Amino acid sequence: MVPDHYLKLDNQFCFPIYALSREITQLYRAFLDELDITYPQYLVLLVLWQHERQTVNQLGEKLLLDSGTLTPLLKRLEQKHLVNRTRSRADERVVEISLTPAGAKLKEKARCIPKEMFGLLGISLEEMETLRNIAQKILQHNAREQKA
């Protein structure tokens, strides 16, 4: 039997991570509102600024999102004229996502966000890298477990 102290909120591992995630997303909102994009849309743009063209499946793998979540998000980005959605010539079932000139240009406006966020979080670069590495380790472990 698990002792009662493990059921206290203060002893939960998941709660501070959940609360921190919400806090960080809220901090991003001030910057992203100026760009007229949401946090999930920002994540899609980050991938496209790095890779230029991705299929919906590739985006889903990188962002850990299923196509049911990603498709409406991509439609809204397309309505804002930030991305193009086109069917692959090789396989019509595959939808490719690419940046429009406006989407590519938005990168310059977003360039300051990481530095500004780093300043708002109040932790050192080393602490941030440690936290990110631990989070990535957990995510990779869970991805391996789900495939097994």
What's the pLDDT at 68? 92
Q: What is the pLDDT of residue 147?
A: 73
Residues 68-105: pLDDT tens digits?
999 999 999 999 999 999 998 888 889 999 999 999 99
**Exposure b/e, 50-76, CB count within 10 A at least 16 = b:** eeeebebeebbeebebeeeebeebbeb
Residue 131 CA to residue 121 CA, distance in Å, equals: 12
Q: What is the pLDDT of residue 118?
A: 85
Alpha-carbon distance of 58 to 47, in angstroms, equals 10
What does the pLDDT read at residue 97? Answer: 97
Q: Would you write out the chain's pLDDT as a tens digit for each of its 148 residues?
A: 778 888 899 888 899 999 999 999 999 999 999 999 999 999 999 999 999 899 999 999 999 999 899 999 999 999 999 999 999 888 888 999 999 999 999 999 999 999 899 889 988 889 999 999 999 999 888 877 777 6
Domains of the chain: 1-30+112-148 (no CATH), 36-109 (1.10.10.10)
Name beta bridge partners: 95.
Answer: 87
* Whether the model pTM is above 0.85: yes
Bridge partners (DSSP) of residue 55 are 96
pLDDT on residue 89:
86
Q: Which residue type, as a one-letter code, is found at position 19?
A: A
Q: Are 74 and 97 in contact (CB under 8 A)?
A: yes
| Strand, helix or coil for residue 55 | strand
Query: Looking at residue 142, what is its pLDDT?
Result: 82
Residues in the chain: 148
Do the beta carbons of residue 117 and residue 27 sit within 8 Å?
yes
Alpha helices, DSSP H, located in 80-124: 101-110, 113-121
Distance CA 95, CA 84 (A): 10
Type and span of the H or E element at 86: strand 83-87
